Amino acid sequence: MAISGCAQEGTFDEMFKSMTTGSVRVVKPEEISEKSRVVYLDARELNEFQVSHIPGAIHIGYDDFEMDRVSDLPKDALIIVYCSVGYRSEKIGEKLLKAGFRNVGNLYGGIFYWVNSGRQVVNAQGPTRKVHAYNERWGQWLIKAEKVYE
């Protein structure tokens, strides 16, 4: 996906590949069946999650992530971890795999790609167009949402 008008040259795919190692299976939103029973884990910080998140997602954080936050999930559950663009979620995914979870995916492009692909996000009040853009450098990749930096 080429992002026109971005300060940074290149494509979203090039950015994603430069930030991740492929240590966790990458899953694009279009590969996830709406009928699948998916557990979405949000690896962003709480203030980012509160702005918006994927419907039904569980906030687990990144800086203060502890395995006890996922202790009641079955080891064979389909788990998709996401963050803003994919770096933090890959690191959490690595920890989940090491802990014995067998069906873990890193959401390609995180919540940015999710929204840019036309998928819905919600907050405590319901559907929203707001997404925490992390910072202005990363916010350039978020094109189909109202950017929040607080």
Annotated catalytic residue 83: yes
**Residue given tokens 């999930």 in the structure block:** 73
At residue 108, the 3 state secondary structure works out as coil
The CA distance from 34 to 143, in Å, is 24
CA–CA distance, 20 with 93 (Å, rounded to integer): 12
Average pLDDT (131-137) is 93
Summarize pLDDT for 56-115 with one digit per residue, the tens.
999 999 999 999 999 999 999 999 999 999 999 999 999 999 999 999 999 999 999 999
Q: Would the pTM count as exceeding 0.75?
A: yes
Mean per-residue pLDDT of the chain: 91
- Residues 86, 8: Cα–Cα separation, whole Å: 18
Q: Point out the catalytic residue in the list 26, 83, 85, 104.
A: 83
> Structure tokens of 143?
């094109």
